[in-house]
Structure 1
């Protein structure tokens, strides 16, 4: 009897090991899409942006199945402050305030407490996973000239990609504020623990009123 139980445990453990990347990816995709499509108002996002947030870069760890499950259930809806869309690489994610493991497993995380959409440098971080379509993985295929749109559900800020370069994980200059109105998207250069980062830079070319989202209601 005990031998059968032990064998069953080993079989289940093996199956979980084999399928855990798929399960993890499916969970991340589900939670990310759910937050992206969440019905929030302009007023709620403004309140969320006034909340305190953590920017703990040293605590960031590579995503695991356990962390993905935890992030989904622990996610604070008050962290959502907008959305980012890059149609050319099919990237659609919620923007969350604060650099935490939970936020990075849901969408794009802000990297400074003082950053404001459409003003100075607006840096966002995202994970690069083996499933290239998830989170910031699509940035590996982005090209110069691509349009990046971020929104606070009141205005859409439209950027065009001007540069794509490799930087070190300790290069903090790329996220510092600037006089120029630009966006910086940061992700790992590989879907493993690595010291290299892809830094995608874009300049603001247009700001328009946000009118194309059925889930948005003015307050």
Structure 2
């Protein structure tokens, strides 16, 4: 599998939220490892070793390898950027460690408009029908969403972060290096 990141402002077509389903064994077995994915950014949460590609829009195939942007037309400067991802029961995969994020942790997000640092302000479990979490209040925030457990569930675990700053080049280089270390460790752990 190859993931190429292209920082472009081109947005993918919107996928209805109900079209995104938790993967089952058939989905995992049907997954083609030799395909190329076109990411539009990256998400890094150093305190819990999350480093993932971010895709513009959401497809079931893409969120088997990264996080999807629920509203790709929203920009980090003055919107609620909503990312969703799977939590598959193994902490080293996808959003598996998202449930360990704590208030005060840093979230780094990059897309075509820049590199952003958010500070976690809230974590909570909500019912899947509580769509208020998706609302855009015209403020710079990020919302990360995954299931509260790796099985079929009606609950969602939510992490909210408020924009802290746009880090400089030195900070970005360090965080991207940290992401590479996270990926290396995950690959090594998944081989064992």
TM-score by length of 2: 0.80
Taking the aligned partners of 2:123 and 2:57, their CA distance within structure 1 comes to 24
Matches within 5 A, 1:114-129: 114-129=73-88
**Counterpart in 2 of 1:155?**
114
1:187 paired residue among 130, 143, 146: 146
Q: Equivalents in 2 of 1:96, 1:107: separation in Å?
A: 7
Shift of the 110–160 alpha-carbon distance from structure 1 to 2, 3 Å rule, reads: same
Aligned-pair CA distance for 1:179: 2.0
- Greater helix content: 1
Structure 1 segment 125-204 matched on structure 2, within 5 A: 125-152=84-111, 155-204=114-163
Partner of 2:16: 56
Using the TM superposition, give the Cα deviation of residue 113 of structure 1 relative to its aligned residue in structure 2, in angstroms.
3.6
How many residue pairs align between the two structures?
Answer: 173
Give the whole-Å Cα distance in 2 for the aligned partners of 1:198 and 1:108: 14
Q: Which has a greater percent of strand?
A: 2
Partner of residue 189, structure 2: none
Structure 2: 5+ residue stretches without partners? 178-192
- Bigger CA drift: 160-169 or 99-108? 99-108
Q: Are 2:57 and 2:72, in contact at CA under 8 Å, matched by a contact in 1? A: yes
Unaligned runs of at least 5 residues, structure 1: 1-30, 215-219
Deviation at 1:64, TM superposition (A): 2.8
Distance 1:168 1:74, change over 3 A: farther
TM-score by length of 1: 0.71
Deviations 1:10-34 (A, max 9, x none): xxxxxxxxxxxxxxxxxxxxx5xx5
